């Protein structure tokens, strides 16, 4: 008899995500990484990491105040996580149990669905609307779905995988509704630097608000798995009870301090990325590829021969992401692929291949 019989059935029924491998020799435009954002000067600063810390347990007292200052929130409203994926796992554990109904405007970052299913929660998905050049958040439908049976609302702002920003007024309206229902509202702001989506202004008034952020996108540290949550200190206190004591390693802590000391540099790189993205959108559309407006570091594209485009790019050492079968997306992403913002040099290569 197999020992696996003792494992929770919801885990046995789930599937482990298998990330793509052997990507080093490709132009990597498939996973929303800001792969070309760190210059040699920043890399050298990262190489100056104190080797003594390799054999010492990490300490967070120097990084947390810097994160708090960057986010313009009190330090006791911040907790570090091993990437935002880990934050999602812990927040699911903190707030939801078997049978709970959780609303998710969909599609959304697949990790949320994964952990809610493991918790055996009921996912109520409300689809965005396809407006040809952008995807529209269905505020009225979400408000109608929020009722006394709801145990939580999760937003992704700007949305991943759609790239759509939810307006500040809509966020406020939903905060008021979830506060009245006395349920948590979790907002994933992994791409907030690419838009003006920022819910921190509501923290003082709404104790049920929890915000997730990451260093993977605007700071280019995806490989170091550094993220953080922002919430009322009462929630942070409970969150820290289930967060592993040393869940973020010393090098990630050091790297976080380095990049937060270089904010003007990263703001300039952000402007550069946005300029390339605008040029990329214009080029793709001139090539007969439909593009959607996004406020992230990627574009959503559609074409009847999307799978052939994805395959041909891969043959030429360029990776983009076929998202036509994205979970909980209905028909929104039919014939769709996602492409991240390339470096200036890689953009020229992409243009030659597509031509």
| 277/159 same-domain check | no
Q: How many domains does the chain have?
A: 2
Q: Which residues contact 144 (CB under 8 A, 6 or more apart)?
A: none
| 63/210 same-domain check | yes
| 157/118 same-domain check | yes
Residue 10 within any structural domain of the chain: no
Residue 199 within any structural domain of the chain: yes
- The residues with which 14 forms a beta bridge, in sequence order, are none
Q: Could you report the per-residue pLDDT of 298-310, keeping only the tens digit for each?
A: 999 999 999 999 9
CA distance 135 to 154: 18
Q: Could you report the per-residue pLDDT of 226-271, keeping only the tens digit for each?
A: 999 999 999 999 999 999 889 999 999 999 999 999 999 999 999 9
| 221/135 same-domain check | yes
| 235/291 same-domain check | no
| 271/254 same-domain check | no
Task: List Cα–Cα distances, 199 to 146, 209, 257, 281, in angstroms.
Answer: 20, 9, 23, 28
CA distance 322 to 309: 10
Report pLDDT for 33.
Answer: 93
| 233/274 same-domain check | no
| 283/304 same-domain check | yes
Which of 227, 260, 293 is the last residue in one of the domains? 260
The boundaries of the domain holding residue 159 are: 56-260
Residue 2 within any structural domain of the chain: no
Residue 297 within any structural domain of the chain: yes
| 233/321 same-domain check | no
Which of 229, 260, 291 is the last residue in one of the domains? 260
| 248/295 same-domain check | no
CATH number, domain containing residue 77: 3.40.640.10
Phi, psi at 105, each rounded to 5°? -60, 120
Residue 94 within any structural domain of the chain: yes
| 234/98 same-domain check | yes
CATH number, domain containing residue 280: 3.90.1150.10
Report pLDDT for 59.
Answer: 92
Residue 47 within any structural domain of the chain: no
Residue 9 within any structural domain of the chain: no
- Which regions in the chain score pLDDT beneath 70? 1
Report pLDDT for 129.
Answer: 96
Report pLDDT for 1.
Answer: 66
pTM, entire model: 0.95
| 272/252 same-domain check | no
CA dihedral of residues 29, 30, 34, 37 (deg, nearest 10) = -30
Which of 235, 260, 285 is the last residue in one of the domains? 260
Report pLDDT for 198.
Answer: 96
């Amino acid at each position: 008899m197999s020992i696996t019989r003792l494992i929770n059935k919801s885990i046995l029924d789930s599937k482990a995500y298998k990330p793509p491998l052997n990507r080093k020799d490709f132009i990597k435009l498939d996973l929303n990484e800001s792969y070309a954002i760190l210059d040699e000067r920043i890399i050298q600063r990262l190489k100056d990491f104190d080797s003594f810390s390799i054999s010492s347990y990490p300490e967070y007292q120097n990084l947390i105040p810097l994160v708090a200052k960057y986010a313009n929130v009190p330090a006791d409203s911040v907790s570090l996580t091993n990437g935002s994926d880990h934050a999602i796992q812990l927040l699911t554990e903190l707030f939801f149990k078997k049978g709970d109904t959780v609303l998710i405007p969909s599609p959304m970052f697949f990790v949320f669905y994964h952990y809610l299913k493991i918790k055996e929660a009921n996912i109520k998905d409300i689809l965005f609307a396809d407006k040809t050049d952008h995807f529209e958040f269905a505020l009225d439908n979400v408000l109608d779905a929020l009722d006394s049976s709801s145990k939580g609302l999760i937003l992704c702002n700007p949305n991943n995988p759609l790239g759509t920003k939810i307006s500040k007024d809509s966020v406020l309206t939903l905060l008021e509704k979830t506060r009245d229902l006395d349920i948590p509202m979790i907002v994933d702001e992994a791409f907030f630097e690419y838009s003006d989506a920022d819910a921190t202004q509501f923290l003082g008034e709404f104790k049920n608000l929890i915000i997730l952020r990451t260093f993977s996108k605007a700071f280019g540290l995806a490989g170091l798995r550094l993220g953080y949550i922002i919430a009322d200190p009462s929630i942070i206190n409970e969150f820290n009870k289930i967060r592993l004591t040393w869940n973020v390693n010393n090098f990630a802590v050091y790297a976080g301090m380095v990049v937060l000391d270089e904010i003007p540099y990263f703001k300039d790189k952000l402007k550069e990325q946005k300029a390339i993205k605008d040029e990329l959108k214009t080029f793709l559309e001139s090539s007969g590829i439909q593009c959607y407006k996004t406020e992230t570091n990627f574009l959503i594209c559609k074409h009847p021969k999307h799978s052939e485009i994805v395959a041909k790019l891969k043959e030429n050492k360029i990776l983009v992401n076929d998202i036509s079968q994205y979970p909980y997306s209905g028909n929104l992403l039919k014939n769709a692929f996602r492409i991240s913002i390339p470096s200036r040099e890689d953009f020229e290569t992409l243009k030659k291949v597509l031509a």
